[in-house]
Structure 1
Amino acid sequence: MNVEELEQAVSKLPPEKLAEFSEWFREYRADVWDEQIERDAKDGRLDEKIEKAKEDYEAGRTTSL
C-alpha cells in the first residue's frame, strides 16, 4: 500500500473508526518517539544537551514548572 492509497482509505473511514484510528496512530507515534529518544540516549546523542541543562539549572537559569 502506498501513501496515496492509505490516505484514501483513511479519508473513507466513518467518524467513529476515524477516531479509533486517530487514537491508535497517536499512541503509535508516541511509542516511535520514545524508542528514538531511548536510542539517542543510549548512543550518547543527548549527553551535550543534558550537560547544558544541568549547567543552566545550577546557574539558576531555569524556571519552575
Structure 2
Amino acid sequence: MDLNQIQQAIANLPEAEYKRLTEWITEHDFARWDKQIEQDLESGRLDPLLKELKQEIREGRTTLL
C-alpha cells in the first residue's frame, strides 16, 4: 500500500475510527519523540543546552518550574 492509498483510506474512515487512528498516531509520535530525546541525552548531544540552562538558572535569568 502506498501513501496515496493510505491517505485515501484515512479520508474514508468513519468518525469513530478516524478518532482512534489520530489518538494512536499521537501516542506513537510522542513515543518516537521520547526515544529520540533519550538517545540525544545518552549521546551527550544535549549537553551544551543543559550547560547553558544551568548557567541561566545560576544567573537568575531562568527559574525552575
The TM-score range, normalised by the shorter chain, is over 0.9
- Number of the residue aligned with 1:44: 44
Where structure 2 has 5 or more consecutive residues not aligned to the other structure, the ranges are: none
Q: By how many angstroms is 1:62 displaced? A: 1.1
Q: Distance in 1 between matches of 2:32 and 2:64?
A: 29
TM-score (norm 2): 0.92
- Number of the residue aligned with 2:10: 10
Q: Distance in 2 between matches of 1:56 and 1:2?
A: 48
Q: By how many angstroms is 1:2 displaced? A: 1.8
TM-score (norm 1): 0.92
RMSD: 1.1
Q: State the identity as a percent.
A: 37
Q: By how many angstroms is 1:4 displaced? A: 1.1
- Number of the residue aligned with 1:61: 61
Aligned length: 65
SS across alignment from 2:13: coil
Where structure 1 has 5 or more consecutive residues not aligned to the other structure, the ranges are: none
- Number of the residue aligned with 2:20: 20
Q: Give the direction of change, closer, same or farther, for the CA distance of 1:37–1:20 in structure 2 (3 Å limit).
A: same
